[in-house]
Structure 1
């Protein structure tokens, strides 16, 4: 049986393999220490079958990994409730399980990764990031994306998006750095009133110390951001768990290779240097709001 979404299984397996290699043990030796066949360790390390929380705990004991925060992160990657001490956020993060019949697997995968991440870097070229949307704006975006959906479906999806935003308001919140093309601020999503409310909310959201915003103005000319939006999720303690997420119309692409992570991380750094500073970006948004209110 497979436990947890595919991306999380691969990330978990890669880290368990790294921990094993740090001990100098072979996969056969590790399997013998816990009474398994070698193939089970191999399947877990490649992410082909995943692991139960109890399996992860047994392997970590064998590898003498007793750091509570690291153990809790790896347990969470296999779908366990974060019962061990040192968790960065509360156990309520598994709220999305109630939407398993509604949401596609790729979206559930993204939500689970976002809930475990400590930092998100996102580039958006057409819409406000989901973590910074108002309910009205999210409703308009959802209707536009789905064509002519049933009203009850729209409301469920908006509730999911609003619930995701809880990661910004926990004891140890997600650090969010968002780069927005100016087009995001100019598109009249949902009409003037909804867009005006969204712009004010976007400006006000930056009062959170862990939210940073950078605008790429039209006057800045061409930049590599024209290739499309993406999100880079980073995780506490383990840089190798980082993942790039690129949304398509019907699915999401997850990039995990180190060369991909380096390329997108470098692109984000260059875009941020090309964009307005956080303070100037807030002034930019405020000026758009003033102009609309005239």
Structure 2
């Protein structure tokens, strides 16, 4: 069972896939239970992610559901093998909300990560000083010890991008770049970091200009994740005052994939975006000289 009886992101992804393939094969839960010599309750809990399927169960069910694609089978077997693995972030678990843990687990598994951020620099691009300033300004009363742990976790998350473990695209509204939410010195350091990170082969940073008008309000901040060689969106996270929500419904995924494509089509090209960031950085240096 996932830790604490709570579905993990991986067990839930596995369960959702098994349910979809069962329904496509027109097999009901009692019949699926017979296939693995278990109870209907176990099938229900497997599909909800409250328990993790064993590899042999995954193989038997996929055989019965007529799923022959070797890539699909390998992916689901890997989820079964690793759904209980301890991620690096769990050493900080005492300081993390469960929904934030879900977000980090999605990042850790992803092959493609895309983010739209109209308010502040995304966590995967934040410098430690910027992260500290954002945490300090949070409406929540965060103790110094927890704040320090959150900054460490932010750095741990960024390792995925630094090591080239995922293709990462971030779209920032112009105000995120041009109008500091933090001290000017911290903002200058942050812009320099964005320019440096944006040179990585697996990273694309684009700026949505003010001329895009109401499109900037088309959606609040969100992140989308893909887990295969193709960039098909398979999960989306939304940040809000109460935490992070994970969306996995087919209609939601299509809507946010389309939203990101629309934002990207109107945003400045990567080269023009870098030029804009350099211009803002230059003006900030002139203002403080």
Please give the range of the TM-score, normalised by the shorter of the 2 chains. 0.7 to 0.9
Q: Quote how far apart the aligned CAs of 1:223 are.
A: 0.8
8 Å CA contact retained: 2:16, 2:47: yes
Deviations 1:225-252 (A, max 9, x none): 4531111111116888711211111222
Q: Quote how far apart the aligned CAs of 1:39 are.
A: 2.2
Give the TM-score normalised by structure 2: 0.85
Does residue 232 of structure 1 match 2:224?
yes
Alignment of 1:145-156 (within 5 A): 145-146=138-139, 149-156=142-149
Q: Quote how far apart the aligned CAs of 1:222 are.
A: 2.2
Q: Distance in 1 between matches of 2:272 and 2:79?
A: 39
Match of 1:44 in 2: 46
Deviations 1:132-155 (A, max 9, x none): 110011110111115553322221
Is 241-250 or 96-105 further displaced after alignment?
A: 241-250
* RMSD across aligned positions (CA): 2.6
Aligned residues: 277
Deviations 1:203-232 (A, max 9, x none): 110111111111011233221545311111
Does residue 190 of structure 1 match 2:188?
no
Match of 1:85 in 2: none
Q: Distance in 2 between matches of 1:76 and 1:109?
A: 18
Does residue 116 of structure 1 match 2:117?
no
8 Å CA contact retained: 1:143, 1:149: yes
Q: Quote how far apart the aligned CAs of 1:256 are.
A: 1.8
Q: Distance in 1 between matches of 2:137 and 2:58?
A: 47
Does residue 70 of structure 1 match 2:75?
yes
Q: Distance in 1 between matches of 2:16 and 2:104?
A: 21
Unaligned runs of 5+ in 2: none
Q: Distance in 2 between matches of 1:59 and 1:223?
A: 47
* Closer, same or farther: CA 137–256 of 1 in aligned 2, 3 Å: same
8 Å CA contact retained: 2:115, 2:224: yes
| Partner SS, residue 41 of structure 1 | helix
8 Å CA contact retained: 2:58, 2:77: no
Q: Distance in 2 between matches of 1:263 and 1:165?
A: 27
* Closer, same or farther: CA 113–224 of 1 in aligned 2, 3 Å: same
Q: Quote how far apart the aligned CAs of 1:18 are.
A: 3.8
Does residue 174 of structure 1 match 2:174?
no
Unaligned runs of 5+ in 1: 82-93
| Partner SS, residue 172 of structure 2 | strand
| Partner SS, residue 227 of structure 1 | coil
Q: Identify the match of residue 58 of structure 1 among 56, 59, 62.
A: 56
Match of 1:88 in 2: none
